[in-house]
């Protein structure tokens, strides 16, 4: 696991890469039956004519991306880090059974908070890729990240 990262530890251009997870047909169907019950996600035979075979719900891909963020070993934000939401979420290519996914993070903006000297805002580009290195999902997210040593305070 990476070292705990405070605001001071982020810089524009930093890149990290998670470990991989493989998604099974059973998991794709189980997720979709609960959250996105459409035939291309739940019925391998019907999916054949719709999308050339079963594809994962985009929300499943997004949820797997979250799992990679938390358990991928490359990103260990300080306690109190708080995601603010997501922008520009695009499903670029379908995820299919037995695909192995990996999350690439790149810091694209770092901004001190004007109102709260004990924290800052870090913006990351999230790119989820498959085993062929093809992008399956991309999005941008900003998070509030605590500083290691608040300005104007000495321990």
Instruction: Give the binding site for a copy of itself (CB under 8 A).
Output: 31, 34-38, 57-60, 62-64, 66-67, 70-71, 83-91
Residue 64 φ/ψ, nearest 5 degrees: -65, -35
* In the complex, least distance from residue 110 CB atom to a copy of itself, rounded to whole angstroms: 21
Write down the least CB distance from residue 137 to a copy of itself, Å: 9
Measured between alpha carbons, how far is 72 from 5 in angstroms, rounded to an integer?
A: 15
Output 67 or 111, the one with its CB closest to a copy of itself: 67
The CA distance from 20 to 130, in Å, is 9
Closest approach of a copy of itself to the CB of residue 113, in Å: 18
| Nearest residue to 20 via CA among 90, 67, 53 | 67
Contacts of 154 by beta carbon, 8 Å cutoff, 6+ apart: none
Q: Is the CB of 13 or the CB of 61 nearer to a copy of itself?
A: 61
Interior CA angle at 130 toward 36 and 76, to 5°? 90
Q: Which residue number, 66 or 109, has a Cβ lying nearer to a copy of itself?
A: 66
Closest CB to a copy of itself among residues 11, 85 = 85
Give least dist CB 152 to a copy of itself, A: 27
């Amino acid at each position: 696991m990476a070292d705990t990262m405070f605001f001071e530890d982020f810089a524009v251009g930093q890149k990290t890469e998670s470990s991989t997870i493989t998604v099974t047909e059973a998991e794709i169907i189980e997720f979709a039956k609960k959250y996105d019950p459409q035939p291309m996600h739940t019925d391998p035979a019907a999916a054949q004519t719709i999308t050339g075979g079963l594809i994962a719900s985009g929300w499943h891909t997004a949820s797997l991306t979250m799992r990679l963020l938390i358990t991928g070993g490359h990103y260990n934000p300080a306690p109190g880090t708080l995601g603010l939401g997501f922008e520009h979420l695009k499903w670029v290519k379908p995820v299919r059974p037995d695909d192995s996914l990996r999350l690439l993070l790149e810091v694209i903006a770092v901004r001190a908070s004007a109102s709260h000297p004990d924290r800052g805002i870090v913006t990351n580009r999230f790119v989820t890729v498959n085993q062929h290195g093809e992008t399956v999902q991309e999005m941008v997210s900003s998070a509030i990240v605590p500083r290691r040593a608040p300005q104007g305070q000495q321990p």
